[in-house]
């Protein structure tokens, strides 16, 4: 399991409050998708979410519902999506400590990394352009060690 600084219960409670505040509705599907993402070690595709819902929680979820819901999560800024080049985006909660990704275009392996220098450099570049940096997504595409 990934390490988050917030328990799932508190995270879910906060999220539900902000959903109501934004004028949207909570649903059991939303809760389960968040739970699946929270307790997963991987970056999950919509199809994987459907499968986990079925096998682990005995919940039947349509894939369209999952796509709609993760899109909603993205607009609420609690989920990030990753394009790994196989047509199926992968999703993760963005409540863990910031990290970037390397994606192998041969086997689709995702490697997470953090690099202080890259982070600082982005701040510098933004500043040099009088740009207020709020967030960034960095994905490096290439070939992993195994596939080389």
Which residues of the shown chain bind Zn ion in the complex (CB under 5 A)? Answer: 92, 104, 106-107, 109, 112, 144, 147
Those residues whose C-beta lies under 8 Å from the C-beta of residue 126, and which sit 6 or more positions away, are: 132, 133
Shortest distance, position 78 Cβ to Zn ion, whole Å: 14
The smaller minimum CB distance to Zn ion, of residues 54 and 136, is found at 136
* 59 closest CA partner among 110, 3, 83, 69: 69
Shortest distance, position 17 Cβ to Zn ion, whole Å: 26
The smaller minimum CB distance to Zn ion, of residues 22 and 77, is found at 77
Element (H, E) at 32: helix 28-38
Shortest distance, position 104 Cβ to Zn ion, whole Å: 3
* 35 closest CA partner among 21, 15, 18: 15
Shortest distance, position 107 Cβ to Zn ion, whole Å: 3
The smaller minimum CB distance to Zn ion, of residues 34 and 104, is found at 104
The smaller minimum CB distance to Zn ion, of residues 88 and 107, is found at 107
Distance between CA atoms of residues 96 and 132, nearest Å: 22
Those residues whose C-beta lies under 8 Å from the C-beta of residue 134, and which sit 6 or more positions away, are: none
């Amino acid at each position: 399991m990934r390490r988050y600084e917030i328990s799932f219960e508190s995270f879910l409670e906060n999220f539900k409050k902000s959903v109501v505040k934004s004028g949207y509705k909570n649903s059991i599907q939303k809760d389960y998708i968040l739970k699946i993402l929270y307790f997963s070690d991987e970056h999950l595709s919509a199809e994987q979410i459907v499968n986990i819902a079925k096998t682990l929680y005995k919940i039947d979820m349509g894939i369209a519902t999952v796509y709609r819901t993760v899109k909603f999560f993205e607009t609420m800024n609690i989920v990030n999506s990753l394009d790994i080049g196989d047509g199926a985006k992968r999703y993760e909660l963005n409540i863990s400590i910031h990290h970037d990704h390397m994606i192998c275009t041969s086997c689709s392996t995702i490697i997470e990394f953090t690099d202080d220098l890259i982070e600082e450099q982005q701040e510098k570049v933004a500043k040099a352009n009088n740009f207020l940096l709020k967030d960034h997504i960095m994905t490096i595409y290439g070939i992993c060690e195994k596939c080389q």
